[in-house]
Each structure stands twice: as structure tokens, then as C-alpha cells.
Structure 1
């Protein structure tokens, strides 16, 4: 297991930050790169035409390596998950009666566009509801998700882990089932990629879309997406000069080329060269490749496993570790325990967590320690003693 990495971040030593699922703290190296690249525009004559493409290439190569994608050209630079989902919807032919499968209370950016499609195209959005909060919940939820796929299913659009409580979904099994009915598998990796191992070669999603400011350790405002072969000839939601062939030759831009670039590059957002955010996200991913998501999962498991066992089961419920992520999990209360009261107690101890649905969402990373978790659990236990 790696040692604690808090010194790589600029965190307040008197504050316990267990909230990486909300927004990651910034690596010192990412901050430095951001500052250096912000200053570059002071002298725009030093920014070459090649600079519009070189950093993008590095980012795509690093993200492709992180998710075991064989081709960096299968990676698109996007501003948000909703943008990535919009490109997906633009390039699937829907018919009235097609079914779209989602999960209860999944993140809104992977919900609203599908509901709008239901109104405009007559498709049916099916929500797979979460079982009761009790032993075996995640396992039953996974079973219900697979069982929801039928011959009428056109798309399954789900996260790898649920953003509210870290429930882990078996994407390999889900991919097998969607292949049987020729349905698309669209994965929101925002709360998993970077901290949880993901292999495009093993799971083969049709698209994997990730915001960059959480577990990828980038700045707010930029993300990345993998698009598979079913989208290689797609039409992007925007026509910008950079996603057309020949855009590297600035002197020839007056001679329009209607052909889009190959594979997922056609889905790059306008101004995807972003001279500040692209190298910052690229540096965040570089550090993740050094640590590896496997090591991050092990680290989070080791600092949480013993401490969480001390939480009174009479008053709190946490999913079995085999069926949830180690870097993100929900603590559910039982009985008459008041979440607002617990929220006040936790905040008074300078501890940051989130509250999503009925869960207290806890999301540690390599800057945390077992003692951080112990202080949170002690705070919760004091409410029932």
C-alpha cells in the first residue's frame, strides 16, 4: 500500500476532507501547471499552431491508458457529462416504444436528456428502483437491473457506482445482457474512473463519459469520454473548426473541409485545446497512472474497513464492501436519527462529507487516514450514546 499522499495537496491540516465525490482537492502539481499555462497568454506570439493539438494528444493518450482503451482517437474532450450524453443521443436512431433503462436517483446529467427524449420520440424511460435499505440491497439492485433488459431495450445508461451511496454495478454482466439484445451500454464514469479500475477492453461499453474535476483530479469545466465503434461515423452536436479534417493547417482553413475527423475526435468540444484546463487534467491523470486506481481502491479499503465495523448496526447501515466502492459509500440511518442533527455534529468537527438522498456520503482518497475515518465514526456514535 502506498503511504498517505496529503503532502501532494494543499489541504487545511485542521480540516478532515472526506468529500472527493463532491470535488477533488487540487494536486499542487496541477495548480502549478494551471498557473504556468494561464501566464502563457501574456505572450500569445509564443503559442504555436502545433500547441493547439499537442496537449490534447497527451491528454487523450493518458486517459486511454487509464481505462485500457487501445486507441487515443477513441477519446473525446468534452466540457461536461451532459455534453457527452447529448452526443450519444444524437447518434442513436430511436423508434417509438424503445426502452431506455436508468437507475433510481442517478445523477441528473444522465437523466434529463433521456426524459426529454421520452417526450419528443415516444421512447419509454424505465427506472430500476433501489431495494429497501437492508442486507443484500446492492446485490438485489444488480439483479433487478439485468432483469430489466428486454428485447425492447435500446439503451442502458447507468453509472459504474451510484453517486449517492457507492453501490457497485456489475458492468461485465450487464454488457453481456445488453449484447444479447443489441442494446447500447452507456456508462457514466464520473464517480468511479480514476479511483476504481475500469477496462474498456474487458467491459466494452459503447460510451464511457467522465467529468474531470472529481476522481480524475482535474479542474472544473473539462471532462473526457470514450466512444466505441458504433459512434465512429457519428455526427457531433456541434460543428467546430477543430473537429474537421485538415484543421492543423491554419493557412488552409479558408478551404472548407466538410469531413469530420476520425472516430471520437469528431466529438471534441469547440476550443478543446483549452490551454489551461487540458494540461491540468492531463497532469491529474498522469499522477493517477503513477498511483493506479487499483492501489487507490486498496488504500481506501485499508483505512476504512476496521473503523466502519465499529459503527452500531442498530442505528446505521453500510452496504457490504463486496457490493460497493471503497472510495465512495453511503451511511444510512435507522430509526429516528435526524440527518440535520448529524450534519451539524459533523460540521462542528471540521469534517466534510456530503448528503445525497437519504445517505451520508463519505468519499475518502489517498490524502486521508484511518484516523480521519475514526473521527467521523466517533462523531456519529456520539449521537446515539
Structure 2
């Protein structure tokens, strides 16, 4: 029940790992041709999942790397030098924007005063001084979601671009980046996408030619794979690549992504709501406080519970092979392969540990 932290990797990944070892054992330089095909396939598969065109998404080691690369595209000169974000974002985001303060970026972190986004307060801070609005689709701490269509429209009306951290939603909530008109979307594989060690960055195709990252690498060049010096940028999202990629994580992550795509995100969302709804019902019956939104349209894939001595409870549950996570609250994140019966097993165990 810990998919909001680390999702299950399919057994089919074992074959990929074995093949990778055989490749290393009998090394030939031409393996890179197939590896690049695999890297591109994974990037375009994620793009299809979020309603983006092929070639509009690039992968790298983690979201922090990709966010910093996007941040390096901008000239933070007044009057548009502000980056509006929220205190319900994962800590890496304000940390990155504070680091870019040395180049003139002014991070404006909107306090929520609780576990839910105050979207009115957030939008009130977006004005003619705002260059970027950088928000999570859902909070890692509570599972609350932002109304993205409303936020994107408001930010664009003010002349600001929108960067969305969708790590906590892609794979469990529907997201159509083209319909939204959102500018940048970041996320990663090791939660709801059932992969490992890779992150992605989508950039709106008509915006891409206007962005030139200062944090870059040779794979972002227009003739990179000829091994001649590049004099311009690669086409599409490849211009946001870095140095030599590590192909294994994308190859392994493709297995889980293919399985999820075969189910379809709408079906996954329906099952997720049924599972999280069962958790909320059981918690209410047991007198356990629910921190996350109970309204289906507001909650992501996780339910956060306020449990006395919750971190110790989490460890005791783990000793029983009942797995969740603790981030100030007990976080429970069932996925499509979890059953309602497993939800009941989890809640039975939780109630027993609370009684202890």
C-alpha cells in the first residue's frame, strides 16, 4: 500500500535486467543504437500516457535534475522575476528555486495554513511580476489536488508560464497536458508508473524553440550522435537532455508502463477511488482521523491518516509485511494491482496496531 512512495516493479523486469547483463558481458559499441531506441520508446510511451505528442518529452535521472535544467532556461530580470509555488510542494522544488536566487529568481512560497491547497491565495499571488508558477498536481503530504485547468488559465492570463510537478499523480490520475495547455510537466517512474530511477520532463511543443537551457550536455546538441561538435539545439524535447544517459532505468520502467497502459488510466482511477474510498470508510468507522480530502474530485491516489505514534505503527506494520509510509501522517497508497480485500487486510492490521 506504498505506491505513492515506491510502486511495485513487475516480474517482467527480471528479463530486462538479465538482457542488460548479457549486453555488458559481451560489450560492443553498437549496443547504443538499441539503447537509444529504448530511451526514445519510453519517453514517447510516457508522452502518450499524458496526452502529449511524440518527441515532446525527455527523461533523466530525477526530477530535481530536470527542474534545474528548465530553470536554467530563463533570464530572471525584473519586473518578471518571481516564481510562485506552494508550501505543499515536495521540498526539492522550493530548494531549487531558492538556489536560482543567485541568478535573480525570487521564490514566492504561498502558505496554505493546512493540508489543502488554498487556490484562491495561490492565484492572488500571480500577477504581472510572475515569470513562472510551479506547483504539484497533488501534494505528497496530504494527497490534495490542485484544479489545474483553472490555475493554468489564470496564470496564462497574467502572462506567466506553469510548471507542474506530477510525480504524485501520473499513472493514477488522468492528465491530458495538451488539453490543459500546460507549459511544463515533470514526473517520474518509481511511484505510480511502477518503474525505477528515471524521471521525465514534458515541454509544450510551441514553447520549446524559445527555451535554451544553460544546464546542458552533449546529447542536447543538433548533431550529438554524429560525435561532431554541435552548433545548435536538438529538435523537440531532446534539447533538454544532458550528458550520456543511463539506459537501464528506462528499459526496466517500460515493463510497468506497458502494463499500466494496457489497463488505461481511467480504469486505474476508478479502482483507485474505490480503494481509497474503502480506506476512508474503514477509518471513519474506527475513529481514525483522515487528513486527506474525502471528496473524490479533490483526492489523489493516497489517503493520509492521523495515527497516534504513527511512525512506530508504520514500522510495526512493516514487520507484518503490511507496507505504507510515514511523512508526518500515515500515507496509504493502493494501486491497480491491490484489491479491496487487501485494503481490508491493511485496515484490520492498522486497527490492531493502534489498539496496542
Asked whether the 8 Å contact 1:307–1:370 carries over to 2, the reply is no
For the pair 1:299 / 2:260, whether they are aligned, the reply is: no
For the pair 1:227 / 2:209, whether they are aligned, the reply is: no
Distance 1:306 1:247, change over 3 A: closer
Could you tell me how far 1:345 is from its partner in structure 2?
4.6
Could you tell me how far 1:46 is from its partner in structure 2?
7.4
Using CA pairs under 8 Å that are at least 6 residues apart, name the structure with larger relative contact order, 1 or 2.
Answer: 1
Alpha-carbon distance in structure 2 between the residues aligned to 1:331 and 1:203: 31
List, as ranges, runs of 4+ consecutive aligned residues in structure 1 with deviation greater than 6 Å: none
Aligned 1:187-202 pairs, distance under 5 A: 187-202=164-179
Give a deviation string over 1:336-359, Cα, whole Å, max 9, x none. x33345335534543211111x32
Give a deviation string over 1:154-198, Cα, whole Å, max 9, x none. 211111111112111111110000011111100111111122111
Give a deviation string over 1:97-145, Cα, whole Å, max 9, x none. 6322112142122121111223x14443222223446xxxx3x623332
Distance 1:301 1:87, change over 3 A: same
Among 143, 158, 178, which residue is 1:166 paired with? 143
For the pair 1:329 / 2:311, whether they are aligned, the reply is: no
Asked whether the 8 Å contact 2:72–2:215 carries over to 1, the reply is no
Distance 1:202 1:184, change over 3 A: same
Match of 1:205 in 2: 182
Among 376, 379, 382, which residue is 2:346 paired with? 376
Among 251, 261, 266, which residue is 1:279 paired with? 251
Among 10, 20, 45, which residue is 2:3 paired with? 20
Match of 1:270 in 2: 243
Asked whether the 8 Å contact 2:39–2:247 carries over to 1, the reply is no
Among 215, 225, 231, which residue is 1:258 paired with? 231
Alpha-carbon distance in structure 2 between the residues aligned to 1:214 and 1:312: 27
Which residues of structure 1 form unaligned runs of 5+? 1-17
Could you tell me how far 1:299 is from its partner in structure 2?
1.2
Aligned 1:65-144 pairs, distance under 5 A: 65-70=48-53, 72-96=54-78, 98-118=81-101, 120-132=102-114, 138=116, 141-144=118-121
Asked whether the 8 Å contact 1:316–1:332 carries over to 2, the reply is yes
Distance 1:296 1:86, change over 3 A: same
For the pair 1:35 / 2:12, whether they are aligned, the reply is: no
Distance 1:49 1:113, change over 3 A: closer
Among 55, 58, 78, which residue is 2:38 paired with? 55
Alpha-carbon distance in structure 2 between the residues aligned to 1:73 and 1:340: 43
Give a deviation string over 1:69-124, Cα, whole Å, max 9, x none. 12x22111211111111111111221246322112142122121111223x14443
Match of 1:367 in 2: 337
Match of 2:323 in 1: 352
Q: Normalised by the size of structure 2, how large is the TM-score?
A: 0.89
Match of 1:64 in 2: 47
Give a deviation string over 1:9-38, Cα, whole Å, max 9, x none. xxxxxxxxx111221121111232122123
Alpha-carbon distance in structure 2 between the residues aligned to 1:77 and 1:217: 16
Alpha-carbon distance in structure 2 between the residues aligned to 1:265 and 1:291: 29
How many pairs were matched up?
Answer: 351
Among 313, 330, 333, which residue is 1:342 paired with? 313
Match of 1:185 in 2: 162
Which residues of structure 2 form unaligned runs of 5+? none
Distance 1:154 1:240, change over 3 A: closer
Match of 1:14 in 2: none
Distance 1:182 1:257, change over 3 A: same
Distance 1:96 1:238, change over 3 A: closer
Q: Normalised by the size of structure 1, how large is the TM-score?
A: 0.83
Alpha-carbon distance in structure 2 between the residues aligned to 1:80 and 1:361: 22
Could you tell me how far 1:237 is from its partner in structure 2?
4.1
Could you tell me how far 1:234 is from its partner in structure 2?
2.7
Could you tell me how far 1:310 is from its partner in structure 2?
2.7
